[in-house]
Structure 1
Amino acid sequence: MVKGLTGKRIAIGGSRKIEEISTLIEKQGGISVARSLQGTVFLAEKEVGPELQAFVETGADWAVFTTGIGTETLVSLAEKLGLRDRFLHVIRQAKAASRGYKTVSALKKLGITPEASDEDGTTGGLIHALEPYDLAGKRVMVQLHGENAPALLAFLKDKGASVFPLLPYRHTPPKQETVSLLCQEIIGREVDAVCFTTAVQVRSLFNFAREAGIAGEIVKAFQEHVTAAAVGKVTAEALREEGVERLLAPELERMGAMIVELSRYYS
């Protein structure tokens, strides 16, 4: 029996669980190539400390939380700096908005019920939930995780808000030669599909492509002959924001489900 990925060359954009994904691809008959689009993640305590101090001193009208782990990390950092009570007071006084069920759960533990929250776990869903509110002249703190959520920040600025981002986790960029190689492979049709497991990987690819002046060619390749596979809604949303409309994303947000979906697509 011919398997769905027989003869297909699949690039993996992640930096974790590479062997696991490779095995899944090979079981479906495919050839996997690791092309990490993600550097390491680190906790930026030194950088965030002064920002957290400034936030506690000035306060905010709104506090927007985008990840559960990032929310918990800000509380831990505030505790290390001896600011926990003041930080909690400030975010409890502000109106809260949250993205994703894990974030709602993290806020619940702090006794905070969001005024606005998404319905689908995406930034687009969060933007939609914030749309009815008057944010002009309002100071809005945004907790980010590893990347800048450009659509959310642009939306808040367009609404006239004064945006104060807090980014406890930062990413070191991936190796430029790896991203360059993958760009060549996408444009040259040397890969049949690219598997993205985080939105950060999508941003890395397109930021590099824009600087190299080839972003249009990358989008064209994805629209015509290379399949973009996203592990879930947030990653799929990042691809759409970059102009990639032809993509696969499984209902079940798991790596295994993404490979099965890809195999089914080629079958």
Structure 2
Amino acid sequence: MTATQVGPLAGYTVGVTAARRADELGALLERRGAEVLHGPAIRIIPLADDSDLLAATTTLLNGPVDLAVATTGIGFRGWMEAAEGWGLGRALHDALDRAAVLARGPKAKGAVRAAGLVEAFSPESEANAEVLSHLLGLGVAGKRIAVQLHGEPLPEFTEALRSAGAEVVEIPVYRWTGPADSGPLERLIDAVLAGQVDALTFTSAPAAASVLETADRLGRLEPLLDALRGRVLVVGVGAITAGPLVRQGVPVVCPDRARIGALVRELADALPARATRLLVAGRSLELRGQAVVVDGGLRPVAPAPMALLRALAATPGRVLSRPALAGVLRRHSGRESTVDEHAVETAVGRLRSALGVPGVVQTVVKRGYRLAVTP
């Protein structure tokens, strides 16, 4: 594989926790060369079956609607479609037509217009804070306001409106619960703890909370947090999504715009930036997740040889003894007594074979091994 064929995420394994749009996210990652592990952390309750959404819609229609906030395009569209299925479509449309509808961003604006309505306000920033500021500037005392949610509550938003004297009816579009089958998520967590995942992606706060809750139930929360605070790059689609992780001290990289494509671009920039790059025996080496880019060509490396290479690369040019490297293999495998110096020699042989170029790993007689770092 030539340098022009090596994608920015080739050699990396990326975990996907999303339920909705997981296929789209996975395809974007694979297009950039990543191997994808999918462990959905949540399950979306179908709108037509959501008794809470039906109850909220019925409550809303039992009185006048002065203002309505559409926070997402897909959520607003789904709400209108569900109401139609319940026989409430015309009543909901008429109620919103009499109200002033505020759309948080262009997608919400498009959904409002597709429903035959016209938005009264939509901020350029696409920020809930600007929508809230606009509402409070209008004066909401005595007003009845519908706030369309999208998976997670907006307590600061809704409480600010209530404190200003408004009656707020929260519309819980796309509620989430735990996955119907927790097996894929548990296997993804296992893979993270085994060092087989280089980055973990999140597209909703409930998914982030579900991963932490599942790890806690399995008795693996602290090891998972250690991994996410260190060697695993964590990427969220936005600040709200990152919230449950940030509160646990996990650093989360987020794009400037809360979009799936922006998340992938951010990941494709941030993950390669963490790679170790060396000039060894006149060769350019870039250590990725489970592969090495040698002079622009991708060379897959098995986990045990890769563990040795990372240890050697941590102190370039320094000799590491066979007992020291045996310790690396023991820590990697989790076996305390079955790794000896012969296993080190075997792993070094596999590493040399995988790299495919001579002279990168040097044997220092009676001492051990080192990388032939170019001065």
TM-score by length of 1: 0.72
Equivalent AA in structure 1 for residue 119 of structure 2 = T
CA distance in 2, matches of 1:137, 1:214: 49
Instruction: Report matched runs for 1:93-242 at 5 Å.
Output: 93-109=98-114, 110-115=116-121, 117-123=122-128, 126-127=131-132, 129-130=134-135, 132=137, 134-135=139-140, 138-145=143-150, 147-148=151-152, 150=153, 152-160=154-162, 161-174=166-179, 175-183=181-189, 186=192, 190-206=196-212, 208=214, 221-230=227-236, 235-242=237-244
CA distance in 2, matches of 1:69, 1:63: 16
CA distance in 1, matches of 2:255, 2:183: 27
Q: Aligned residues: percent identity?
A: 21
Instruction: Mark the CA change 1:19 to 1:225 in structure 2 (over 3 Å): closer, same or farther.
Output: closer
Give the aligned partner of residue 30 of structure 2: 23
Q: Which residue, out of 64, 69, 78, partners 1:64?
A: 69
Give the aligned partner of residue 95 of structure 2: 90
1:248–1:261 contact (8 Å) kept in structure 2: no
What SS does the aligned partner of 2:97 have?
helix
Structure ranking higher on relative contact order (CA contacts 8 Å, 6+ apart): 1
Q: How big is the shift at 1:57?
A: 1.5
Q: Which runs of 5+ in 1 are unaligned?
A: none
Q: How big is the shift at 1:156?
A: 1.3
2:103–2:119 contact (8 Å) kept in structure 1: no
What SS does the aligned partner of 2:119 have?
coil
2:44–2:174 contact (8 Å) kept in structure 1: no
Instruction: Mark the CA change 1:121 to 1:181 in structure 2 (over 3 Å): closer, same or farther.
Output: farther
Larger Rg: 1 or 2?
2
CA distance in 2, matches of 1:99, 1:120: 8
Of 97-106 and 235-244, deviating more is: 235-244
1:99–1:123 contact (8 Å) kept in structure 2: yes
Instruction: Mark the CA change 1:71 to 1:200 in structure 2 (over 3 Å): closer, same or farther.
Output: same
- State the Cα deviation string for residues 113-144 of structure 1 (Å, max 9, x = none): 233x3434454554555464544564332223
CA distance in 1, matches of 2:227, 2:136: 34
1:38–1:173 contact (8 Å) kept in structure 2: yes
CA distance in 2, matches of 1:128, 1:210: 38
Q: Which runs of 5+ in 2 are unaligned?
A: 276-375
- State the Cα deviation string for residues 118-177 of structure 1 (Å, max 9, x = none): 4344545545554645445643322233x12x3x23331244244322234344422444
CA distance in 2, matches of 1:168, 1:75: 10
What SS does the aligned partner of 1:105 have?
helix
Instruction: Mark the CA change 1:253 to 1:127 in structure 2 (over 3 Å): closer, same or farther.
Output: farther
What SS does the aligned partner of 2:197 have?
coil
CA distance in 1, matches of 2:81, 2:10: 48
Q: Which residue, out of 6, 9, 14, partners 1:10?
A: 14
Q: How big is the shift at 1:193?
A: 0.9
What SS does the aligned partner of 1:44 have?
helix
Instruction: Mark the CA change 1:83 to 1:44 in structure 2 (over 3 Å): closer, same or farther.
Output: closer
Q: How big is the shift at 1:228?
A: 1.4
CA distance in 1, matches of 2:97, 2:238: 32
Give the aligned partner of residue 51 of structure 1: 56
1:65–1:96 contact (8 Å) kept in structure 2: yes
Equivalent AA in structure 1 for residue 13 of structure 2 = R
What SS does the aligned partner of 1:60 have?
coil
CA distance in 2, matches of 1:53, 1:207: 33
What SS does the aligned partner of 1:37 have?
coil
What SS does the aligned partner of 1:11 have?
strand
CA RMSD of aligned residues (A): 3.8
CA distance in 2, matches of 1:218, 1:131: 42
Q: How many pairs align? A: 256
Give the aligned partner of residue 370 of structure 2: none
CA distance in 2, matches of 1:22, 1:49: 37
